[in-house]
Amino acid sequence: MIPVRGFDEQVVAVLGLGRSGLAAARALQAGGAAPVVWDDGAEGRARAEAEGFTLRDLTRPGAFEDVACLVTSPGIPHLFPKPNPVIHAALEAGVPVDNDIGLFFRSFATQDWDQFDALPKVVTVTGSNGKSTTSALIHHCLTHTGRNSQLAGNIGRGVLDIDPPENGGVVVLELSSYQTDLARALTPDIAVFTNLSPDHLDRHGGMGGYFAAKRRLFAEGGPDRAVIGVDEEPGLFLAGQMAEGPGDDRVIRVSVARKLAGPGWNVHARKGFLSETRKGRQLASIDLRPISGLPGTHNHQNACAAYGALRALGLPPRTIEAGFASFGGLAHRSQTIAEINGVRYVNDSKATNVDSAAQALKAFKRIRWIAGGLGKDGGIGGLGAELGNVEKAYLIGHSARDFALQLPDTPHEICETLEVAVARAADDATPGDTVLLAPAAASFDQFPDFEKRGEAFIALVGTLRFPD
């Protein structure tokens, strides 16, 4: 646990008692604060009360009279589309609002560090797509070398649940826009920006607000090194803002769309080969094509971003290459489940929007595509250029018929359920085909989350491998 510092004997309110909220309450208490907690749901309140925390109805008038700070869970809106009434009441009372990420950064460094030979480092990863894989890949390569590393934030452990850092240890944090938007303290040593595409726009009041939430990690966080994907205009703009000039190697630019040149520090991947250049000279190259845990251009972008962060931490190229080779990939993200009778089955349930589904469709040939669920604005209309690899689509869920209307030239079948879709795709598939779950939609019409949807796909593929 990371005890929260700076609130000795002060009352701190905690709103939302899920994983991050309860962890924040524990860490506040461990640091000497007096947390009072609230959740709209009776289940959350019961969990907190069972741990001995003091409940306070933060919706009542006067609830913030003695409160030094309100700590809120990331899923609770604080500005757009409308502030939660409790957060609004705190702001009206002049009470600052923070989250567990802000508490972490204000509390991470301690006087114990004076005894360390090498100070701990924090690597943060944000972006629209690929941040989980990039974070996990950085963590994997560090542990592969024997270096102490902890993975936390939006993946792995809660940020305040991690162990106090060891000498030379690294904490790798995946951070969503919800987390970076509100945190009052952001001080990473290395910050990574993968890419930007439309997502969570209602929460941020549009693309400008969404980009601004992620930009805070760099502009206000002031990392020693920034690893930035420059294949979209926002990333290109951000790299330009962070650099003092063309040769400023505090910025490591990343691309999978073109070869990067110039006097700066660059990492790019072309035709499956990752290259690192600095001061106009190539320093290293890695063939990414045989690495099964990193298939497709989108994973090559993740590899480039992870490589940049690992090089900034001082790892040599050949050590990074060995770590990449042993990386098995993340569950539900271009995860190969099985190969049965020459047919590959891939679980990319995390592909909940058009951009992430497009990357999956580009990564494989001869695809039997399982798509659908609770579709987002625009459906799959933006996928036209990527449908050339699709042999047939098998459509499920609430948006199945809407998606069918957007596939006039692609063979498709409305299957309604994942069970039917897997069975029909398996029946149709021939050796060399890939049965790909890349829904381009949320899961909430039929599954609690994308993980449960992916687990259901894995189980169904298991019945194909081992029939009753």
Domain termination site, one of 325, 346, 373 = 325
Does one domain contain both 251 and 108?
A: yes
The answer to whether position 5 is within a domain reads no
Separation CA 190–CA 121 (nearest Å) = 8
131 is in an annotated binding site: yes
Does one domain contain both 253 and 114?
A: yes
Give CA separation, 356 vs 154, 334, 420, in Å: 18, 10, 24
Does one domain contain both 141 and 172?
A: yes
Does one domain contain both 219 and 295?
A: yes
**pLDDT at residue number 439:** 96
Domain termination site, one of 266, 290, 325 = 325
Is-contact 1 30, C-beta < 8 A?
A: yes
The residue among 98, 183, 66, 105 whose CA lies nearest residue 54 is 66
Residue 122 phi/psi, 5-degree rounding, is -120, 125
Does one domain contain both 81 and 141?
A: no
The average pLDDT across 209-213 equals 95
194 is in an annotated binding site: no
Report the CATH number that the domain containing residue 345 is assigned in CATH.
3.90.190.20
pLDDT at 36 over 70: yes
Q: Kindly report, residue by residue over 236-250, the tens digit of the pLDDT.
A: 999 999 999 999 999
Sheet of strand 97-98: strand arrangement: 54-55, 34-38, 11-15, 67-72, 97-98
The answer to whether position 173 is within a domain reads yes
Cβ neighbours for 245, distance < 8 A, ≥ 6 positions apart: none
| Amino acid sitting at position 190 | I
The answer to whether position 171 is within a domain reads yes
Report the CATH number that the domain containing residue 264 is assigned in CATH.
3.40.1190.10
Does one domain contain both 130 and 84?
A: no
The answer to whether position 139 is within a domain reads yes
* Helices 317-325/296-312 angle, 10° precision: 140
143 is in an annotated binding site: no
The confidence band for 264, taking pLDDT boundaries of 50, 70 and 90, is very high
The answer to whether position 247 is within a domain reads yes
Q: Kindly report, residue by residue over 280-293, the tens digit of the pLDDT.
A: 999 999 999 999 88
Question: Which range marks the domain in which residue 372 is found?
Answer: 335-461
The answer to whether position 180 is within a domain reads yes
**pLDDT at residue number 465:** 63
Separation CA 90–CA 109 (nearest Å) = 28
Structure-model confidence comparison of residues 295 and 214, the more confident one: 214
Is-contact 438 296, C-beta < 8 A?
A: no
Q: Kindly report, residue by residue over 132-148, the tens digit of the pLDDT.
A: 999 999 999 999 999 99
Which of 140-149, 377-386, 410-419, 442-451 is predicted with the least confidence, judged by mean pLDDT?
377-386
pLDDT at 459 over 90: yes
The average pLDDT across 345-354 equals 92
The answer to whether position 169 is within a domain reads yes
pLDDT at 467 over 80: no
pLDDT at 429 over 60: yes
pLDDT at 454 over 70: yes
pLDDT at 224 over 90: yes
DSSP string, 65-115: TTEEEEEE-TTS-SSSS---HHHHHHHHTT--EE-HHHHHHHHS--GGGGG
**pLDDT at residue number 468:** 46
What percent of the chain is predicted at pLDDT more than 70? 99
Residue 192 Rama label (left phi>0; alpha psi -120 to 50; beta)? beta
Domain termination site, one of 98, 114, 133 = 98
21 is in an annotated binding site: no
Q: Kindly report, residue by residue over 166-181, the tens digit of the pLDDT.
A: 999 999 999 999 999 9
The confidence band for 81, taking pLDDT boundaries of 50, 70 and 90, is very high
The answer to whether position 223 is within a domain reads yes
Which of 20-24, 324-328, 442-446, 461-465 is predicted with the least confidence, judged by mean pLDDT?
461-465
Separation CA 408–CA 438 (nearest Å) = 19
Report the CATH number that the domain containing residue 50 is assigned in CATH.
3.40.50.720
What percent of the chain is predicted at pLDDT more than 90? 86
Does one domain contain both 304 and 437?
A: no
The residue among 140, 146, 147, 173 whose CA lies nearest residue 323 is 140
Separation CA 448–CA 429 (nearest Å) = 29
Does one domain contain both 165 and 299?
A: yes
Cβ burial, residue 366 (10 Å; 0-12/13-18/19+): middle
Largest CA distance in the chain: 68
pLDDT at 466 over 60: no
The count of structural domains within the chain is 3
For the chain, the average pLDDT equals 94
Does one domain contain both 217 and 79?
A: no
129 is in an annotated binding site: yes
Does one domain contain both 309 and 369?
A: no
The average pLDDT across 342-359 equals 92
**pLDDT at residue number 384:** 82
Does one domain contain both 26 and 66?
A: yes
Does one domain contain both 355 and 457?
A: yes
**pLDDT at residue number 1:** 94
pTM value is: 0.85
Q: What token pair was written down for 230? A: 């420059």
pLDDT at 372 over 50: yes
